[in-house]
């Protein structure tokens, strides 16, 4: 399911970018709703892919069921701080872009899953404030979700635990020898992925 969730997140992010690139001038309310739906899918399925990958890592490391039960109760950020160390002897950098991005992603996912409505007042200012809040949420948290999916995979691949694979994100354009991919990457998504590679390289140089 890791790859399935990751693919859904990538496709949703492509849809989100299409709705925000400025080329679509019609659609009004429906356009906003489509963008919102794509944004929510990007955040939720990025988190689902990362969480599913964490459970795959757990099964590689932990034989004792009691230890696994304890680890399952811990938060997603804690899992990814702990599992690479247990598997490869080296933790991911807690101050690095992957873990920091994951922390923001978990908060964004939780705010969507545990959404709390607010009562409107006579001036209607609550609705306006919520709209402004959502706009900022879209600007920052939707791109962060997909970037975290990629950055976490890059950092895992570069770590000693990377030898086992099981990364949350996999480039669908890459196929085993003898096979040909029919997948065409979205140009705007490719740009974001390329930026993730730059961020990752800069982080690796600083370690």
Lowest mean pLDDT among 22-31, 77-86, 179-188: 22-31
Task: Give 103-125 pLDDT, tens digit per residue.
Answer: 999 999 998 888 766 666 666 66
CA distance 92 to 102: 12
Decide if 195 contacts 150 (C-beta within 8 A).
no
pLDDT at residue number 27: 56
Whether 128 has a pLDDT exceeding 80, the answer reads no
pLDDT tens by residue, 160-200? 877 666 688 887 877 777 777 778 889 999 999 999 999 99
Question: What DSSP letter does each residue of 42-66 carry, written as one string?
Answer: HHHHHHHHHHHHHHHHHHHH---HH
Residue 87 has pLDDT above 70, yes or no: yes
Give the separation between CA 40 and CA 35, rounded to whole angstroms: 9
Burial class (CB in 10 A: 0-12, 13-18, 19+), 188: middle
DSSP string, 120-179: --TT-HHHHHHHHHHHHHHHHHHHHHHHHHHHHHHHHHHSGGGGG---S---TT---TT-
Instruction: Give the mean model confidence (pLDDT) for residues 1-13.
Output: 95
For residue 137, count other CB atoms closer than 10 A to its CB: 18
Percentage of residues in the chain having pLDDT higher than 90: 44
Token readout for 99 is: 């873990």
Q: Is the pLDDT of residue 63 over 80?
A: no
Residue/partner pairs of 123-126 with CB below 8 Å, 24 or more apart: none
């Amino acid at each position: 399911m890791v790859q399935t969730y990751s693919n859904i997140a990538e496709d949703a992010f492509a849809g989100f970018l299409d709705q925000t690139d400025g080329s679509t001038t019609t659609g009004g309310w429906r356009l906003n709703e489509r963008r919102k739906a794509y944004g929510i899918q990007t955040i939720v399925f990025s988190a689902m892919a990362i969480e599913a990958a964490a459970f795959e890592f757990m099964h590689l490391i932990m034989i004792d069921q009691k230890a696994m039960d304890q680890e399952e109760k811990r938060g997603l950020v804690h899992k990814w701080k702990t599992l690479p160390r247990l598997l490869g002897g080296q933790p991911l950098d807690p101050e690095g872009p992957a873990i920091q991005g994951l922390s923001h992603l978990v908060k964004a996912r939780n705010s969507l899953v545990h959404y709390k409505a607010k009562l409107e007042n006579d001036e209607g200012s609550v609705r306006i404030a919520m709209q402004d809040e959502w706009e900022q949420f879209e600007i920052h948290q939707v791109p962060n979700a997909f970037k975290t999916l990629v950055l976490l995979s890059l950092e895992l691949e570069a770590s000693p635990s990377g030898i086992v694979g099981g990364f949350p994100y996999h480039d669908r354009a890459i196929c085993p020898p003898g096979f040909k991919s029919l997948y065409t990457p979205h140009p705007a998504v490719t740009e974001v992925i390329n930026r993730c590679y730059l961020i990752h390289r800069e982080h690796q140089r600083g370690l």
